[in-house]
Amino acid sequence: MASLFNLEVVTPESKFFEGEVEMVVVRTTEGDVGIMKNHINYVAPLAKGLLKIKKDGSFKHASIEGGFISVDKEKTTIVTDAANWNE
């Protein structure tokens, strides 16, 4: 079983996503970054692009409008201007 960590995605209007995930892939201003459990502490600005959340062995995709990502021992937090599921 994959190691899980807490992910929170927040927009000005609401908490877009909160839960335990296996992996998250997000586009920073320097390129794509993948985050898994026990990643080093990390903060980076985000570019407009695709957010990929891996949960239960499959990826779910959302579009985000920039912002930033913060990773620490407790959880990974993404703050973005807007987020929408790509369904």
Using 50, 70 and 90 to split pLDDT, how confident is the model at 69?
very high
pLDDT of residue 36: 96
Band of residue 50 on the pLDDT scale cut at 50, 70, 90:
very high
Contact 10, 16 (CB under 8 A): yes
Question: pTM value?
Answer: 0.94
Banded model confidence at residue 1, pLDDT cuts 50, 70, 90: low
Q: Does domain 5-85 have CATH number 1.10.3720.10?
A: no
Identify the pLDDT of residue 2.
72
For the chain, give the mean pLDDT: 95
